[in-house]
Amino acid sequence: MIDAIAARLAEKGAPGFRPKVAVILGSGLGGFADEVKPVAAIPYGELPGFPQTTVGSHAGRLVLGHVGPTPVAVLQGRAHYYERGKADEMRGAIRAVAELGCETLLQTNAAGSLRLDMPPGSVMAISDHINFAGINPLFGAGPGDSRFVDMVDAYDPTLLKKLMAAAHTANVRCHDGVYIFFSGPSFETPAEIRAARVLGADAVGMSTAPETILARHAGLKVVALSLMTNYAAGLVPGALGHEQTLAVANAASSDVRRLLRVFLETY
Ligand code: HPA
């Protein structure tokens, strides 16, 4: 798969392009790819091992280029566990960006808020995650001991501080907290969310945790950001829907874009 990317880079006159940071853009946040001064953009369909995304708002393109002086590899669209019941959907893509030279994976996602002080539109840097979904993207990985990945400081504390500093510079209020992964695609029940609060979660979503595990396995540092698109089930009256996720993500995406731009420009 690296060969396919190298061939495209050579074709575009940038054979030595070596991205430093890989970025995964979550639901409704794909527009950040416009901030990249592109060197090449390659549909996932042309890249063996990359996922075929089935969520409408996920474009499914690898965009290679620069944000300020920083060379980046933007994964515009992710595949989720719930799409095919495969926890390692993003394995090929994450391996590829690691092989290309990336040292860090910056993830974004849309999430539900478990905190009344983080209303829809709020931004939260992820300090840790809870994966009690009973699945792991490293099932079947191995043999050998590399599958026993250490998850202490999985979200790099230094990069977390840099992300908070970037938010300050970009004039975006940024909380920090724990993200809990649920498999989806159905939303959580109010009872599940009450349980998640007791467990220490601040935000809930259907992605990110598997990708963090895959990235740590591939030797990448991880830093991640959630955009709250709704209060989680039962926190306030009313039903949940994917349309709201997209509408709020689109409305608040300019804050996230600014923050990501500052973080990457000064990386
Ligand atoms: N739950 C799970 N995933 C989500 C939510 C939610 O409330 N909002 C956006 N993604």
* 200-215 per-position pLDDT tens digit: 999 999 999 999 999 9
Q: Which of 109, 207, 226, 253 does the annotation list as catalytic?
A: 207
Is 109's C-beta closer than 6 angstroms to any atom of ligand 1? no
Phi, psi of 210 (to 5 degrees): -60, -40
- For the chain, the distance separating the N- and C-terminal CA atoms, rounded to the nearest angstrom, is 27
Nearest to 1 by CA among 87, 81, 71, 100: 100
Nearest to 127 by CA among 21, 208, 195, 193: 208
188: which 2 tokens? 């959580």
Q: Would the pLDDT of 260 be above 80?
A: yes
Residue 110 parent element (H or E): strand 104-113
167: which 2 tokens? 């938010």
Burial bucket for residue 103 (CB in 10 Å: 0-12, 13-18, 19+): middle
CATH number, residue 104: 3.40.50.1580
Q: Which of 44, 58, 73, 155 does the annotation list as catalytic?
A: 58
Total structural domains within the chain? 1
Q: In the annotation, is 231 catalytic?
A: no
d(CA 199, CA 126): 16
Atom 10 of ligand 1 has which residue's CA nearest to it? 111
pLDDT band at 252; cut points 50, 70, 90: confident
Q: How much of the chain exceeds pLDDT 70, in percent?
A: 97
* 73-117 per-position pLDDT tens digit: 999 988 999 999 999 999 999 999 999 999 999 999 999 999 999
Q: How much of the chain exceeds pLDDT 90, in percent?
A: 76
Nearest to 180 by CA among 108, 112, 80, 90: 112
Atom 9 of ligand 1 has which residue's CA nearest to it? 111
The boundaries of the domain holding residue 67 are 2-265
What is the pTM assigned to this prediction? 0.95
Q: In the annotation, is 242 catalytic?
A: yes
